[in-house]
Structure 1
């Protein structure tokens, strides 16, 4: 906010986790791009009522390329071009592409992803045609408030953009937080600064040591909100750090203990002083379709989220089926 201008109104930022639109979801997208075929009315209404919607797009969007796999991983995710239209009609304003699937089908497919999303009016962070563009933030505006968004990932190094090659914004967080990352965060303007980080291993119930250390460094550098993903299950919240958003839509096998088919949509209230309140709404991921959780599922989610937050020193309140957290205290 500049001197002499009226304070920005509070806005609602909707955050969703890993959004995998390949494989079985892609097969459905070949037939329909109607968001109603992928998300129930309750999920769609949450996005419609939010001022800004951002998620982690864990696939490329292209009909070109071939599997590129320097790490010999078992999974490669590619969605057809109409996926961009579906996301736009769902109400998505921006996505982060900084993750370990952005280059699953090579450089051409990543460049297509950027083009298809841009044509649909969706902003991107965390990947680009070269190093500078991969690290370029996006500035989102709503209700007179400006939100600077940066996307980075701590794996894999083979996907890192260079001065001459497309790729992702890569930061080796296991050995410490690089100066490039902290200085970039420190240089971001706007009323609020969101850093989206794809960090840590899959299928963990809580943030690992280097993730917690990195979160503190990012907040110290000037991030007013940190939203993580990679574990495929939601983690707890500590101050302005949402350690893992979990999954949003996919066709994955379900772990019977961690229940990666049960998750949350995170609604953050922001004003010119930063994030103030979190309202988390329980969701359930069926095969290639996501819906509001039923009462039994919501009870499991509520118990797990409250326990995960308690381990980080955060209190969770339940209000009419929504889980709320005060985001104003400092992280850990």
Structure 2
């Protein structure tokens, strides 16, 4: 194997993570608050999620500053200085009261709290997920308008099908561009009615995971990709809990790399990190896990340790689209804030990732410094976490 880095290329560094959910309970501790009324079977007031978190881990100051929720992650972001920061924003940003009927969970954040995204320097929000339209078409429209006003790019949802399918294009100085495509799958809980159409707002919903769909995606990539561009395919798919990755998903991810010009697959929907793969020297993150949520104190699924999250820093060679280095930094959600983990928790996360990435020949080991890194060897990649 030769060096995957082009002789004259400087790698592009991306930050990605899983689901960022600053709505519902988290919204209630921020400077602006939506009305707390919910339409869930068991919880009718968003403040109840704050009560559960405080009972589990202690009092949360209110109102919290816009940077509060990022906690220790802010210093890590600044230290690693990514060229672009991409998140899956799994909430509506709206004061709309028109909740989507027959849906059990409804996430929303007050538009005044959008400053919490700016506080972390977020460049692009993926919206192709199962909560962006929790508060109807009015909620989606306000979400898009609010993010546009603070100059945060959106992808995966729009006022019509053309806008929902359009990629987000992020310039990275003179080194090229990052082109983000975003799709959602019904397997993640996205209602089929949310699918955008020519004259109807909605999300960019995948028809299926077939080769025909890959060819359609490839045609869209060819329309915009130029030499030096890095193409990110962000997808909301699969179940919330469990490590199983279907062969259909694996085949789809491989086809995107083989035939559609995709350089990085950014998967999310799982509430905990699942396996990763380096396929033909391109990174596939099958499920990044939740990054921030209001689940503290909620019982059930403790075995998956959904409180443990990962920051993914990915260096990609713009000349080849190949992975140069992957570094992951473990965090823990506590008091609706991201905190650096202790060694026992990092070791637990390492074992879980190792167990479920080994099928892809990904080796994960603990090293000093509480980071995860990859190094290329002759026969495989190794991923390190501590």
Could you state the TM-score of these two structures normalised by the residue count of structure 2?
A: 0.78
Change (3 A) 1:287 1:174: farther
8 Å contact kept, 1:182–1:217: no
Q: Which runs of 5+ in 1 are unaligned?
A: 1-5
What residue is the counterpart of 2:195 in the other structure? 160
Q: 1:8 touches 1:145 (CA, 8 Å); kept in 2?
A: no
Matched with 1:241 is 284
1:38 corresponding residue in structure 2: 69
Q: CA deviation at 1:82?
A: 2.4
Question: Residue 358 of structure 2 is aligned with which of 310, 313, 318?
Answer: 310
Q: Which has the higher Rg, Structure 1 or Structure 2?
A: 2
**Residues of 1 paired with 2:217 and 2:104: CA distance?**
30
**Structure 1 position 263, deviation (Å):** 1.7
Q: 2:98 corresponds to which residue?
A: 66
Structure-1 residue corresponding to 2:15: 14
| Cα distance change on mapping 1:167 and 1:11 into 2, 3 Å | same
**SS in structure 1 at match of 2:179:** strand
Partner of 2:128: 98
8 Å contact from structure 2 (residues 211, 255) kept in 1:
no
Partner of 1:138: 168
Matched residues in 1 for 2:64 and 2:146: separation? Answer: 14
What is the aligned counterpart of 1:269 among 298, 302, 315?
Answer: 315
- Number of residue-to-residue matches in the alignment: 323
Contact 1:137-1:151 at 8 Å conserved across structures: yes
Aligned residue for 1:193, secondary structure, equals strand
Where 2:235 maps in the other structure, the secondary structure is strand
Instruction: Establish whether residue 228 from structure 1 lines up as the match of residue 267 from structure 2.
Output: yes
Q: Secondary structure at the match of 2:151?
A: coil
Q: Aligned-pair distance for 1:229?
A: 0.4
Question: Is 1:323 equivalent to 2:369 in the alignment?
Answer: no
Cα distance in 2 for partners of 1:67, 1:267 equals 36
Q: Is the 8 A contact 2:70 2:337 kept in 1?
A: yes
Q: CA deviation at 1:78?
A: 0.6
Deviates most, 243-252 or 213-222:
213-222
Cα separation, partners in 2 of 1:200 and 1:330, compared to 1, 3 Å: farther
For the Cα contact (< 8 Å) 1:25–1:250, is it kept in 2? yes
Kept in 2: contact 1:125–1:138 (CA 8 A): yes
Q: 1:101 to 1:293 in 2, by over 3 A?
A: same
- Cα distance in 2 for residues equivalent to 1:227 and 1:301: 19
DSSP-derived class of the 1:17 partner: strand
User: Could you tell me whether the CA contact under 8 Å between 1:13 and 1:51 is conserved in 2?
Assistant: yes
- Summarize the Cα distance change of 1:134–1:260 in structure 2 as closer, same or farther, 3 Å threshold: same
Deviations 1:8-57 (A, max 9, x none): 532321111101111111101226573432121x3002222222111100
Tell me what 1:209 maps to.
247
CA distance in 2, matches of 1:308, 1:62: 38
* Number of the residue aligned with 1:294: 342
- CA shift, 1:158, in A, is 1.5
CA distance in 1: counterparts of 2:134 and 2:103, whole angstroms: 10
- Cα pair distance change 1:262/1:212, threshold 3 Å: same
Residue 181 of structure 1: which of 217, 221, 224 is its match?
A: 217
Quote the RMSD (CA, aligned, Å): 2.3
Change (3 A) 1:158 1:7: farther
Hey, what's the Cα distance between the residues in 1 that align with 2:130 and 2:23?
14
| Secondary structure of 1:265's aligned partner | strand
Residues 168-202 of structure 1 deviation map (CA, whole Å, 9 limit, x = unaligned) = 00003356662433432344414210000001122
